[in-house]
Amino acid sequence: MPRFLALFFIAACLNQAASADQGETVSFGGSTMGTTYSVKIHVVADTPSLARMQDVQIGVDGVLRNVNDQMSTYLKSSEISRFNQSQTTEWFDVSPEFAGVVETAQRISEQTDGAFDVTVGPLVNAWNFGPDQRTGKVPDDAAIEALRQSTGYQNLAVRTDPPAIKKAIAALQIDLSAIAKGHGSDRVVEYLNTEGFPDVFVEIGGEVRTSGSKSGQWWKVGIQTPDAATDAWTVAHALSTGSGNDNAMATSGDYRNFFEADGIRYSHTIDPRTGRPIQHDLASVSVVAAKCVDADAWATALNVLGPVDGLEVAKRENISALLISRTADGFARAGSGAMAQYATDADPATSSTARPQSAAGSPWATMAISTIAFGTILFLMAIGVIFGRRAISGSCGGLANKTNPDGSTACGLCSNPADACKELRERMQSSESKQSTS
């Protein structure tokens, strides 16, 4: 499933001014999996490891070529292409890495009831987002239903010992493009760690995995506002925080890869459960996980599920995710886990794009209940003032109705922030102290 990769990177820019005696960040990159990759390695300056960088880059290219040989549908000789071309429904031997990725994909398919499905490739292609030439035409219902007969994660089986996969129907094909880049990032980080480089930042087509730091300064990744016109970032999140939990981040969005026909905008993200492009206000999903292969797959799965069900599943499965939705005023952010700190919106279930509410939970019912409760409180407070001859104490902490040195009362600050009340309280106490000593 093709995906647009919404991350942009500030890791190399932030704190780039680290002094030479604190180390040096070496960068290189190239092409892989139909996109680009970037590697940053932080090393202590003037160490022998710097002289090895050319060999290290050759090693990284070798790791990525191996991933392509296993999982690229563009290579006819790859494991995945040979499996797709085969008509057998018997076990098909694959590499341990290949079986591991398929096992991860199947696990997430089950956890999302099929919102993530690596067998959806033929439908993606029918909707003009696959390897075939784009026609710009919308497939008819009959074509979609016919293709759905040859898809479905339930028709795919995997085992890891010995590693093999098996299809229940001969026409079944799989496409790992929604998860292979994350897996590739994991493989490169593991290779670099094995080669003696603990402080690395690896990105493949927007999917990021890090380890260590830059002389104690954490690698950070920026999440872009899902607006193709601005290219602005909205959040900078530190993936490694020194707790020994190095993390990865992947993003799935729909604001760059789409096509329009008869005035309708069609997203490149296909819902495997319907065979059609997703239709909701969710513009992008960023997921943080220990492994990039998981972050990659979950970002797509939550994007398919949408702003309400996606957030619900993320919370249920303890997934750290940031969901950015389009609103009438721009964008709203909702989050779970470590990404909840960046939320700007209430739970999407209560937003304007959420499901219809029951009468009991309607805004009118809430307004009526609030009005009655507020009126009752005012009535009881008035009774207390009339019969008790005492000032009303409120959120000002007893300052209410007290007279300020300038003749005004403190009630006007009850609706102000606590800092304002605190400042007033200090000024009044200071004034009273001066009067008592004069």
Distance, CA of 328 to CA of 326 (rounded, Å) = 7
**Distance (Å, whole) CA 437 – CA 21:** 59
With a CB cutoff of 8 Å and minimum separation 6, the contacts of 226 are 6, 253, 255, 283, 284, 324, 326, 331
Count of residues for the chain? 438
User: What CATH architecture is 23-73+177-209?
Assistant: Roll (3.10)
Question: What confidence score (pLDDT) does residue 429 get?
Answer: 56
Stated pTM of the model = 0.73
Rounded CA-CA distance 297/177 in Å is 10
Q: What is the 3-state secondary structure (H, E, C) of the chain?
A: CCCECCEECCCCCCCCCCCHHHCEEEEEEEEECCEEEEEEEEECCCCHHHHHHHHHHHHHHHHHHHHHHHHCCCCCCCHHHHHHHCCCCCCEECCHHHHHHHHHHHHHHHHCCCCCCCCCHHHHHHCCCCCCCCCCCCCCHHHHHHHHCCCCHHHEEEEECCEEEEECCCCCCCCCCCCHHHHHHHHHHHHHHHCCCCCEEEEECCEEEEECEECCEECEEEEECCCCCCCCEEEEEECCCCCCCCCEEEEEECCCCEEEECCEEEECCEECCCCEECCCCEEEEEEEECCHHHHHHHHHHHHHHHHHHHHHHHHHCCCEEEEEEEECCEEEEEEEHHHHHHCCCCCHHHCCCCCCCCHHHCHHHHHHHHHHHHHHHHHHHHHHHHHHCCCCCCCCCCCCCCECCCCCEHHHHCCCCHHHHHHHHHHHHHHHHHHHHC
How far is 433 from 431, CA to CA, in rounded Å? 5
- Answer with the residue of higher pLDDT: 148 or 129: 148
| Mean pLDDT within 197-214 | 93
Structure tokens at 322: 């940031």
Q: What is the pLDDT of residue 130?
A: 74
Task: Report the C-alpha gap between 66 and 120 in whole angstroms.
Answer: 24
Give the model's confidence band at 319: pLDDT under 50 very low, under 70 low, under 90 confident, else very high.
Answer: very high
The pLDDT mean for the chain works out to 78
Show the tokens assigned to 121: 């490739």
The yes-or-no verdict on residue 52 having pLDDT over 80 is yes
Confidence category of residue 184, pLDDT binned at 50, 70, 90: very high
pLDDT value of position 231? 66
What distance in Å separates the CA atoms of residue 255 and residue 137, rounded to the nearest whole number?
19
Predicted local distance difference test score (pLDDT) of residue 17: 36
CATH numeric code, 74-167: 1.10.3980.10
Tokens of 326: 């389009």
d(CA 147, CA 121): 10
Inform me whether the pLDDT recorded for 176 exceeds 90.
yes
pLDDT at site 227: 73
CA distance 24 to 20: 6
Residue 143 has pLDDT above 70, yes or no: yes
User: pLDDT digit string (tens) for 247-268?
Assistant: 999 999 876 677 777 777 788 8
Question: Any idea where the domains of the chain sit in the sequence?
Answer: 23-73+177-209, 74-167
On the question of a common fold for 23-73+177-209 and 74-167, the answer reads no
Half-sphere CA count of 268, side-chain side, radius 13 A: 21
Of 376, 420, 414, which is closest to residue 395 (Cα–Cα)? 414
